[in-house]
Amino acid sequence: MEKIITGKAFILGDNIDTDQIIPAEHLVYSMDDENEAKMYGKFALSSVPKEQSGLPEGNIPFVKEGEFTSEYQIIIGGSNFGCGSSREHAPYALMKAGAKVIVAESYARIFYRNSVDGGFVVPYESKIKLNDKIKTGDEVKIDIENNTITNITSDETYSLNPLGDVLPIVSAGGLFEYARKTGMIE
């Protein structure tokens, strides 16, 4: 895994649920067929209501019309990110769209576990509310070793909670890959 991850930020509000991350009608695609799997990226965050998005003017799409990946690599959310149903498709969809890191005040436990277990995205928790300090489109840098996020656009740095024991799992590409690499399973 990269020790420094840079990219554009996409800002969301509180209580972004798994139905907003990947609407249920798009769960028909195979995650094992690459042509179908890219559809998860296309429809990631396609149904976040404008009043909940926390975005300026509330109408900036995460993935542009006709595209399969986003120009935003880092998602900054509020509290209770990934609440709702327990589908593993939610962090998978964000990964397929090109997201590498999510920084939120807090996560729904199952979303957090699905992110780690699948090795889909790095789920950081912020020490303070960041979705009102960073704006959509700001260039940001995540320093994995120092557990910080720097808003390059405004030249401000904030502390993140350490990833702890989940870092090697996400770095390995998920729980099963981690178990293989450490000799727990063949």
Specify the pTM.
Answer: 0.93
Q: Quick one: fold of 4-181? A: Aconitase; domain 4 (3.20.19)
pLDDT tens digits for range 84-128 = 888 899 999 999 999 999 999 999 999 999 999 999 999 999 999
Residues 53, 78: Cα–Cα separation, whole Å: 10
